[in-house]
Structure 1
């Protein structure tokens, strides 16, 4: 397969994955918003590309407008992929490993996707965490608990990106950390950035100042918690229940 054909196949498979998730979701607007945030593309950029009013995209994402049909979803997905491709295709390339391999699974303790996003304050409360760096708050659409030593020592930067699952708008929770510096270094060299990083097993006073600095530079919220790992995972998995109750 030629390089151009390989790129086109990757784009096609990624578009199928995105469109399928959006159209099959019981909250297609939320799914659409999640993918737009994953690609770090503004509503105005999509609307400009498609030649529609920004309010159209906003209404679809918020649910104010009737759920988009397959044709509209396809156009929006193509717009996201094309806009990223025109700026270098960094996001598209980052998803390549997720489509073609599952080697990163050996470093993952648990992973979970949310239908309804969680706010950073709620995350901190649920896992009894202290905030080491506030960063730029984004909605969290899931979490991944990672064995820090395996991820850093055994995975290439390309494989490391697969730890995100299908949404970068998630909390990456690193266990078996000594200072927090190594996970932040690993994140710095990847194209994808998580919406939040949690250092598990550390009190906030034990977080390396350099880890805080890197989080500050990348504008990533950084939290630290010593909560029991099994209790932490259970609390986060039950978040959807809490959301409905609240």
Structure 2
């Protein structure tokens, strides 16, 4: 992994945590992004297991820049020791431009927002899974173009900076293709929203795939342009 990439990623992580209105929430986001249990991170830092939990829960004063720097460096070091899987994923994001014909809109939030509130804002109907989650962003994806034109590594770019997000696939016919595409990639989103389809037209295998991958599944009949407008105007 190039040092320039590592430094750029570290700067983004540390800056987001330090400048966030909720540093603990931002810290939790990045720890989860790298799939690191709080106990493992605490052990590597030489902290008590409760320290990370207290930071993330806002029960302890926000860490200063020096501590944030240590935490970020430790997260990256743990990932490097495990083969750098997540750093490689973010390398694709840092050094890539998205095709407007594939990605209609993408946004990452500084702090998590309730999944239910997000989905209510674009008139979603629940098909499978729990709404008792929080997400850190969303991506509006042209379903056909993404599946046809993106390789497996490129497909992972639609997750932005966190898989704890909603993927909104537009103009789907049965929902089968995007769910199978997700199935064969290593990263899974928290939520999938199938746009332009009613629940009765969903292929029977789609809810089964969502259940298997622990993905909350919705549909919405709201127009794509309207979805983008509504989400951009929300004050989250």
- TM exceeding 0.5: yes
- Residue of 77, 83, 94 corresponding to 1:99: 94
1:157 aligns with 2:157: no
Q: How does 1:175-186 map to 2 (within 5 A)?
A: 175-186=170-181
- TM-aligned CA deviation for residue 136 of structure 1: 8.4
- Residue of 187, 194, 210 corresponding to 1:215: 210
- TM-aligned CA deviation for residue 22 of structure 1: 1.6
Distance in 1 between residues matched to 2:131 and 2:91, nearest whole Å: 26
Distance in 2 between residues matched to 1:137 and 1:45, nearest whole Å: 26
Tell me, which stretches of 5 or more residues in structure 1 are unaligned?
A: 1-5, 242-246
- Residue of 6, 23, 36 corresponding to 1:11: 6
The answer (yes or no) to whether the contact 1:168–1:192 under 8 Å persists in 2 is yes
Relative to 1, partners in 2 of residues 1:124 and 1:41: Cα closer, same or farther, differing over 3 Å? Answer: same
Query: TM-score, normalised to structure 1's length?
Result: 0.86
1:110 aligns with 2:90: no
Q: What corresponds to 1:235 in structure 2? A: 230
Larger helix fraction of residues? 1
Tell me, which stretches of 5 or more residues in structure 2 are unaligned?
A: none
Distance in 1 between residues matched to 2:54 and 2:66, nearest whole Å: 17
Distance in 1 between residues matched to 2:198 and 2:20, nearest whole Å: 38
Q: How does 1:25-44 map to 2 (within 5 A)?
A: 25-44=20-39
Q: How does 1:57-76 map to 2 (within 5 A)?
A: 57-76=52-71
The answer (yes or no) to whether the contact 1:105–1:163 under 8 Å persists in 2 is no
The answer (yes or no) to whether the contact 2:105–2:141 under 8 Å persists in 1 is yes
Distance in 1 between residues matched to 2:99 and 2:216, nearest whole Å: 24
1:79 aligns with 2:74: yes
Q: How does 1:124-203 map to 2 (within 5 A)?
A: 124-134=119-129, 138-203=133-198
- TM-aligned CA deviation for residue 29 of structure 1: 1.8
The answer (yes or no) to whether the contact 2:113–2:136 under 8 Å persists in 1 is yes
Distance in 1 between residues matched to 2:98 and 2:228, nearest whole Å: 22
Q: What is the CA RMSD across the aligned residues, in angstroms?
A: 2.1
Query: TM-score, normalised to structure 2's length?
Result: 0.89
- TM-aligned CA deviation for residue 99 of structure 1: 1.5
The total of aligned residue pairs comes to 236
